[in-house]
Structure 1
Amino acid sequence: MVAVSVGPGAVTRAREAVAGHLTDAGVAPGSAFTDAVLLVVSELVTNVLRHAARSPVTDVGITVAAGHLVVSVADTEPRLPDLTPAGMGTGLLMVAELAASFDGAVSVETAAGHDGKAVLVRFLIPA
């Protein structure tokens, strides 16, 4: 997990941090899978900048286990996104489609012990 200060350069810093972790996890740089994961990170951090402007930082992380990769982007905004197809904006809809293209899904969890949430995007890592 890496804490990224919200503001100019946040998307770039988040993408760079995740790209390094992907390489460490054995995911091929420049692959369609890597591009999809980095696009998801970009969109989720952009959503924090647009919809959780009071959040001073966003925590971005990835977890790799049992052939799956999970990207998490957390902020301190208590309002949860609507993850229904009718309720998602263009960006979240794209995130859901990218996840689905790798047998994954999007979910949201409330933060434990404080206001906020984490948007989780699960992917099946291609063989």
Structure 2
Amino acid sequence: MKENQELEEPNGLSNESLEKALGASLTLLFVLATADLLMYHFAGTAALTVIAHILSLLLYLKHQLRLDLVKILEMVALVIDGVLIVKEGYALACPISTLIVIIYIGLNRERHLLRMKEDLQKVFAAKQK
């Protein structure tokens, strides 16, 4: 029944609000990556973006979102950091991959806005069930 119905746009999910949300999330990721690189310089390891990538992976798995280059890069960085943490005791791949993802999303902003809207519709549809 509900499967044939098209997902309705939730209130407040306009293109302008999506652009603001994407800008805010990219700014937050930049701050986390910068803080992690500073923490790596002074303390020898990075943890903030590792935690952010774990949370992102959990959201991806929970809501079965679309797999794209950003998610693949985040997962690869998470695996690399997992190995680095076990073998060497530090993590560095997640902050670097986060900076690369920020640049990639900035260059392909329109496509990521569309994907973000589709993913948010999936999340809202799952919450309505």
Does the alignment reach a TM-score above 0.5? no
More helix by share: 2
TM-score normalised by the chain length of structure 2: 0.28
Determine which structure has the larger strand proportion and give its number: 1
More RCO (CA 8 Å, sep 6+):
2
